[in-house]
Amino acid sequence: MTADSWRNLIEHIGLLYQEYRDKSTREEIETRRLQDSQTDPEETSPSEETPSEAEPTSTIENKAPPQINLLRNSNSRFNLWQDLPEVQSSGVLSILQPDEIKLQEAMFELVTSEASYYKSLNLLVSHFMENERLKKILHQSEAHILFSNVLDVMAVSERFLLDLEQRVEENIVISDVCDIVYQHTVNHFSVYITYVSNQTYQERAYKQLLQDKPAFREVISQLELDPKCKGLSFSSFLILPFQRITRLKLLVQNILKKVEEKSDRESTALDAHKELETVVKACNEGVRKMSRTEQMISIQKKLEFKIKSVPIISHSRWLLKQGELQQMNGPKTSRTLRTKKLFREIYLFLFNDLLVICRQIPGDKYQVFDSAPRGLLRVEELEDQGQSLANVFILRLLENADDREASYMLKASSQSEMKRWMISLAPNRRTKFVSFTSRLVDCPQIQCVHPYVAQQPDELSLELADVLNILDKTDDGWIFGERLHDQERGWFPSSMGEEILNPKIRAQNLKECFRVHKSDDSQRRKLGSRNRQ
């Protein structure tokens, strides 16, 4: 492919990255829905062998190319790699196996989506950041917090895109892109960690500016109305780098699932994926660290110790869950009593390594009367409960603040709240269903069809098309899930997803995830252990 034809392709990309991302994830959802609705084993069984040329499916797949998440809109005449005039006129489509065509599409998507991302970044800089009216309104420090190192991020994207361009220009059939991804991730993608780690301050500064500076609010509103923005908000441009680095990892996963096993391309894809995973984790940790530090300081100020004081603030400590529960008064034999006076309110702060049990006192303060290391907690659900003892469980402290064993009978406000507390307090307790790390053949799965933003520390934020193993569920509409692509766990409303009913599709999802993470089995076992903690 010539440089001119490639530049022509870039110019014809009509979608901003936000539009591409939305379209691609919704196509992914629809593809899974279609697969899940097919019950004929011949149709749904994922092929483990490369189809031979004699199989009729090969001809069908050549005529009806696989549904790939690409930049489809009226302004772009290029939908897929195989739609490129150079590809169609070359005759390679009649030579390549269907699996290779799928792989070409996966690599081509990574390239064109980077072009779409660069186009959106450029708009963030040229249309918003460099707007003269906005420059006059913003103080230099405010502009720095709001836009952070976006110029560095854009420069890295441009350099990355140029290398991808050069690779595509070398041959109609793309040899590989993951080697380029690997090199750029190792050498340049640290700029993403800097940008994303600033996210907490960026969000806060943006809200404050909207509230305190009417002129800022007015200019942003006018800029958002410009046809260039296609109805997209300023904030959607600010979060582009975090969305892109996460999406890039998933695109490499998609390539990895399609390359031939034990090949050089598989090895390169595994290396690229491992490095991207490191960057994404560093980005997530950067965001968490900023918010966690402030949160721990705030909690420390609210606690008053009736017992020996425990230092709360620590670089290795963070909050997992907090909230009010009802503590049962009197001996255990009093469970048969049916009176609301049986319970009194207590408040729990559960950290990753410590439980603090308090009672709320005037002035938004909490008086601590017991504590225990999290590793010395055990929980037990009560059976045959009457109505007044519904959602009650027993919490045992094997060694409390007085160096003795203590038991608390606690009542939650709902079944989901009870289960959430029990899983948080005792993470090694067996869940209703199996986890990804068990490597069993089948397990309930759900696909996210509505994005969800976590509201509590024990919840999991979801992106469209995320696939999760269901570890537990409640009768009042909550699911405890483990996302397949990164093994992150948490609770979310069941209304956010659709259960995957076809066992063959579930098995294929698991098989693909095992392959993506097979480069380091020991690392996965460590990851599973850390997630349970």
Assess if residue 13 is contained within a domain: yes
Determine the pLDDT at residue 432. Answer: 63
Query: Are 384 and 469 members of one domain?
Result: no
User: pTM of the entire structure?
Assistant: 0.79
Strand partners of residue 500:
445
Biggest CA pair distance of the chain? 84
Q: Measured between alpha carbons, how far is residue 89 from residues 86, 277, 513 in Å?
A: 5, 38, 36
Domain count, the chain: 3
Determine the pLDDT at residue 4. Answer: 59
Determine the pLDDT at residue 441. Answer: 55
Determine the pLDDT at residue 41. Answer: 42
Query: Are 522 and 490 members of one domain?
Result: yes
Query: Are 261 and 345 members of one domain?
Result: no
Assess if residue 61 is contained within a domain: no
SS3 383: coil
Query: What angle is formed at CA 311 by the lines to CA 308 and CA 313, rounded to 5 degrees?
Result: 160
Query: Are 17 and 130 members of one domain?
Result: yes
In 10 A of CB 470, how many CB atoms?
A: 21
Handedness of CA 118, 123, 124, 126 (dihedral sign): positive
Assess if residue 454 is contained within a domain: yes
Query: Are 145 and 277 members of one domain?
Result: yes
Query: What is the helix (H) or strand (E) element at residue 442, kind and residue range?
Result: none
Nearest alpha carbon to residue 311 among 292, 322, 296, 294:
296
Determine the pLDDT at residue 315. Answer: 86
Please report the beta strands in 413-532, taking only residues with DSSP state E, as ranges in sequence order: 445-448, 467-473, 478-483, 489-493, 497-500
Assess if residue 73 is contained within a domain: no
Assess if residue 457 is contained within a domain: yes
Query: Are 392 and 269 members of one domain?
Result: no
Determine the pLDDT at residue 443. Answer: 83
Query: Are 135 and 8 members of one domain?
Result: yes
Query: Are 281 and 388 members of one domain?
Result: no
Alpha helices in 350-502 (DSSP H): 415-425
Q: Which residues of the chain have pLDDT under 70?
A: 1-12, 39-79, 330-341, 384-388, 429-441, 518-533
Query: What is the helix (H) or strand (E) element at residue 157, kind and residue range?
Result: helix 150-170
Query: Are 387 and 462 members of one domain?
Result: no
Beginning with the edge strand found earlier in the chain, give each strand of the sheet holding 406-411 in spatial order: 303-305, 365-373, 354-361, 343-351, 319-328, 406-411, 392-397, 377-381
Determine the pLDDT at residue 530. Answer: 45
Strand partners of residue 424:
none
SS3 273: helix
Identify the domain boundary among 425, 459, 488. Answer: 425
Query: Are 317 and 290 members of one domain?
Result: no
Query: Are 287 and 323 members of one domain?
Result: no
Identify the domain boundary among 266, 294, 322. Answer: 294
The boundaries of the domain holding residue 365 are: 306-331+340-425
Strand partners of residue 328:
343
Identify the domain boundary among 236, 271, 294. Answer: 294
CATH value at residue 467: 2.30.30.40
CATH value at residue 371: 2.30.29.30
